[in-house]
Structure 1
């Protein structure tokens, strides 16, 4: 690394200009603590800043479902993909998938220093590739694009052309075919199936697992167009129907699919499977129907946690419980030994009796919604009479726990619907845990399961890491890939999920960095949940890419505990129709170094020394800009994620200046601690 010591804390933002980092110590009672301040979102008024290349954004793929063993073409849709000449395919753990990939190149243009592509790749997967979900990324002049999901199947996949958007033009579909299609804005797709007497028609349609924005509605109509039954998708659960044909003649049925919010286009795709089977005879020993193929790949299940984790939300993936085989049925007798792992389904398994001693601290940890079950649990603990024969009705609750607060930023917001309660028994005796389900509405029968661990309090933590979108308004974040130029930087946002009362600081570092890059360690302060890491590239950094890993270390019970962060990604920005940023777990954080271009501006806040300051103090924060030729434009610096009670206003740096000293104010009640922003 060739950066001078004074530049060790420089941060460079990937889209327009670069942020800076500074160290500030807030001292109280004669001891020293430290703030790390990162300034993000730099706006420059001159077009000269376009020398800083923005980052590729892969929004959709031309197909999200393909059959194994066949060569297929894959076209990319998004922003800044015209020079993407590599396609990287990996499994959901980030391991490369064997594939032959070739880009369709565009004709060369005069004075071109990088070949452009048509955005289409020819792909043939290796013979040992298994059915299931994989991730696709592209790489080129504008870095690594955002990952997208691709479902691999063992059965044929039909991707129909347009024209089946009316009842009279319904597409004829055969049993056991997979259809990959997209919803229509202000319209519907129609499919026709022929059913014989004594047969049953079934259909499932999935979207969320494909990282699709579609919220599906499935309708079944008879051949005359009369509506028979309606279903809709819920989270990771499909829209599904099962309809036995009770007539004595052959009957045509029509399946209609649309988006509940009447949206459509490339980002609203789905995969449908329809199946026609003979109805089992009433006296058969095997009355169940064959399982739908898509259900084996995509249906959430507590018995397939590693598979379900493929499309978990970041918070679910970060708090993934042990294998479901370790969980047993709830016993009829009170539980006396801990830890214990139980499983059940609401409302049947809603009461768990146990015994505890006075002062005994236990944690009750439910895993249900985080495993894509359609539940909203609440925990209530009652004190039971000492005599088991006494009436246990009319008990008054002594403690209850519902949803926990949201964690993270609006970009990657972690919903903690599953309650986690750490509780101290007030006296020795018998107690009852009651699990309530605050979710209402009709749900699939297998969508209300839960796993429950009751354990002695065991403080610990989980981490979630994602590339930070370069904006001062985090609510405007959208999917972003990764690129770091020479003398550039990339920022990783890290969120901690604390368990069982753990509140100690967490030290952060990055492993697996490409040659020519480095990342200063960071820290999540005691009791806090957020921090950032800033990766820098040297002036002589060379092209390459590698998967990196964010690791957190904390002192728990006099031992160092190391935790690897779960990588996450933004899959869709908020919109006027759906004002929520959607996120998902991804297989890896991958960093690409691009050596052809040089970052135009670097910003250094402070210097290598720690700035010491006490509460109720104002200081001048020295900021220096290092400009490359052609970057003499006004910069607007807006501080982001400052510590509570610390203020720093917007700073403008004229194009002909390289140094400013804005005033930073620390309030009298600012909490001492070490922070990273």
Structure 2
């Protein structure tokens, strides 16, 4: 080795050592794309999971449903610095072991390392052999990659104007279906924008599929079939070669634009009609799909002891079994609606009931009627969009004179309409169902649920993940939505926490709609991670005055970083809590642990932190959850705010700060409250829009019931 080469080697080694030092600012692991994004069931497959921040020390991978096992394959430390939201991240190798009987479909997964927990990525389980896109050029019919079906091709539109071609051989009369998973396998990935001038506003891949003859003639083309994902089916006219073209409709690309495209000549079903069955009953249903070998109908059966809810089943056809299709098992009687295209022909409903129907042509509107009692609540809800069907439903309610009295459109992150209707009078009311864009067709199938509604609540908020070192805490923010006349308190719980982690008991009292869940890890807690579930418990009186328990699991959404540093959110299935190695803040204490605050008063909370010796960055103290200068979640009751007198930014070697809370007066004064747990939050920024959050010990806030509405007073000094 020459001296020059030796010096270069030493420089490279020094760079590697510097890179692999412990992180000075520790953030959650931001998973990017997964390649290949699909695995065949019954196989073991090596996949690459890209991440901003290293996945070194990965010891568990969690899926939202049981069965799949995934293990970390890297044996040497691997640097993965955060490179900005538009970059694809660093690949880390894992092995996915999928049982032969694993249900097909898209799975959500998260990774736990000894340092942090991760955001969400996706993995598709397919029944077809998986073929990866060739590393050779495949951007034209002349260079198309040869494949044979059935096949699941895993590829990537990795750069602007990237077009992928695949060549297969078919026979005259073969009916081929092509189904791409692109948006569906990346939609909850933390950062998906393309980056770069202009392209930074593009978020998810918008695929388009084109089937061509060898001479380039277009035989079939499709865009936007299931959301932004495409699907096409075509009967081949002759023996010979055919070409499938895959691209983004805008000709943009990014290494995060991964996809799986399935090509098959097997039966494919989109839906059953009706799409629901009453528990313990049998019903005949039409099969809506392609290449079914003449099969038009099947029999749906439900056992008397079967669980209610959605399930997926396959149907045998003369050409084999179909893909799994959604079926609802319900306690409610189910009817099939037809001919109800005017208010005069409205179908009367006896509640509770499920009405199954199809908007078969443009401008079609369906009508139903039911008897209601003044002041009572009724739930009307459509299921269609959530079952990969195209209906963008709208519900309208009319009184007996034809006057519209209520309407419902999009539900929770869905185009399925939902309406909680409070009847303004006794009598008959009419319900109409239509497509927002006045479309119709074979796949515009829906199930309408109509039932008397009972008191209800929902939980939402910022509780996507938590990572805690032993002896530290983290805070989640919870918002409560009470519905259908419910006004009672709701107790918050977290199930499945790792050993040594607890949640401070908290109940959201009547009149309040938000709270903090403060998670604490004992000093001796061992490194571990679990999928957990936040839920609420309440009691309400039924129509007969009897107490009824009400338990509702929280809706979970993940953060998505989009163009311009803004955020979007997407529903996901999992929450994760992990106990980790020491983080940037080792201790975080606030005094006093009990405070009393009256309208017009201020109170000081003294904060002291102990930093990890390797961390000297700024710490921002706060009570609400801020994004920029906007409050996107809060734990303080209305009428209590964090004063501008607070000393909330700890820079350099500063380890002490002060939070000043103040209570409003008059009509804005806070309502009485007793021993309500709050905590000071400490935020350490990873980037403009990403931070790691820490929490102090719980502080119990009391607002006396007899509090006078006095003028503001100086903040009293904190005392232990």
TM-score (ref. length: structure 2): 0.67
Of 301, 305, 308, 2:310 maps to 305
Report the Cα offset of residue 105 of structure 1. 0.4
Indicate whether 1:183 and 2:183 are aligned: no
Give the direction of change, closer, same or farther, for the CA distance of 1:234–1:336 in structure 2 (3 Å limit): closer
Indicate whether 1:549 and 2:536 are aligned: no
Report the Cα offset of residue 601 of structure 1. 5.1
8 Å CA contact 1:366–1:451 kept in 2: the answer is: yes
* Secondary structure of the corresponding residue to residue 305 of structure 1: strand
- Equivalent in the alignment of 2:571: 584
8 Å CA contact 1:99–1:125 kept in 2: the answer is: yes
- Equivalent in the alignment of 1:105: 75
Report the Cα offset of residue 597 of structure 1. 1.9
- Equivalent in the alignment of 1:13: none
- Equivalent in the alignment of 1:387: none
Indicate whether 1:257 and 2:279 are aligned: no
Distance in 2, matches of 1:201 and 1:511, equals: 46
* Secondary structure of the corresponding residue to residue 348 of structure 2: coil
Indicate whether 1:64 and 2:37 are aligned: yes
Give the direction of change, closer, same or farther, for the CA distance of 1:207–1:368 in structure 2 (3 Å limit): same
Report the Cα offset of residue 579 of structure 1. 6.7
Report the Cα offset of residue 509 of structure 1. 1.9
8 Å CA contact 1:206–1:238 kept in 2: the answer is: yes
Distance in 1, matches of 2:159 and 2:110, equals: 28
Report the Cα offset of residue 170 of structure 1. 1.8
Report the Cα offset of residue 87 of structure 1. 4.2
Structure 1: unaligned runs, 5 residues or longer: 1-47, 110-116, 279-285, 293-302, 309-319, 385-394, 408-413, 469-480
Deviations 1:642-661 (A, max 9, x none): 45554323633464452435
Distance in 2, matches of 1:170 and 1:159, equals: 13
Distance in 2, matches of 1:403 and 1:452, equals: 13
Give the direction of change, closer, same or farther, for the CA distance of 1:572–1:181 in structure 2 (3 Å limit): farther
Indicate whether 1:376 and 2:392 are aligned: yes
Distance in 2, matches of 1:530 and 1:209, equals: 32
Root-mean-square deviation (CA, aligned residues, Å) is 4.0
- Equivalent in the alignment of 2:491: 507
Query: Size of the alignment, in residue pairs?
Result: 553
Report the Cα offset of residue 133 of structure 1. 3.8
- Equivalent in the alignment of 2:173: 198
- Equivalent in the alignment of 2:419: 420
8 Å CA contact 1:183–1:269 kept in 2: the answer is: yes
Distance in 2, matches of 1:230 and 1:102, equals: 40
Distance in 2, matches of 1:103 and 1:349, equals: 56
8 Å CA contact 2:112–2:118 kept in 1: the answer is: yes
8 Å CA contact 1:461–1:502 kept in 2: the answer is: yes
- Equivalent in the alignment of 1:155: 128
Of 542, 561, 565, 1:573 maps to 561
Give the direction of change, closer, same or farther, for the CA distance of 1:359–1:539 in structure 2 (3 Å limit): closer
- Equivalent in the alignment of 1:647: 641
Deviations 1:401-458 (A, max 9, x none): 1337x98xxxxxx567523131325243x432111221356x7732x33222222231
Distance in 2, matches of 1:180 and 1:431, equals: 51
* Secondary structure of the corresponding residue to residue 669 of structure 1: helix
8 Å CA contact 2:51–2:91 kept in 1: the answer is: no
Structure 2: unaligned runs, 5 residues or longer: 1-20, 80-89, 188-203, 268-286, 294-307, 314-325, 341-345, 625-632, 679-720
Deviations 1:75-125 (A, max 9, x none): 2210223413324253x34x4x3647452301799xxxxxxx983233434
Indicate whether 1:612 and 2:597 are aligned: yes
Distance in 1, matches of 2:493 and 2:45, equals: 40
Of 587, 605, 609, 1:622 maps to 605
8 Å CA contact 1:52–1:600 kept in 2: the answer is: no
Report the Cα offset of residue 485 of structure 1. 0.7
Distance in 1, matches of 2:616 and 2:512, equals: 39
Distance in 1, matches of 2:171 and 2:616, equals: 75
Of 334, 356, 362, 1:328 maps to 334
- Equivalent in the alignment of 1:401: 407
Give the direction of change, closer, same or farther, for the CA distance of 1:261–1:327 in structure 2 (3 Å limit): farther
- Equivalent in the alignment of 1:8: none
8 Å CA contact 2:207–2:223 kept in 1: the answer is: yes
TM-score (ref. length: structure 1): 0.71
- Equivalent in the alignment of 2:318: none
Of 119, 124, 146, 1:172 maps to 146
- Equivalent in the alignment of 1:22: none
Distance in 2, matches of 1:256 and 1:82, equals: 35
- Describe how 1:333-482 pairs up with structure 2 within 5 A: 335=348, 337-346=350-359, 350-356=366-372, 361-384=377-400, 396-403=402-409, 414=413, 418-424=417-423, 426-428=425-427, 430-439=428-437, 445-446=442-443, 448-464=444-460, 467-468=463-464, 482=466
Structure number with higher relative contact order (C-alpha < 8 Å, ≥ 6 residues apart): 1
Indicate whether 1:207 and 2:203 are aligned: no
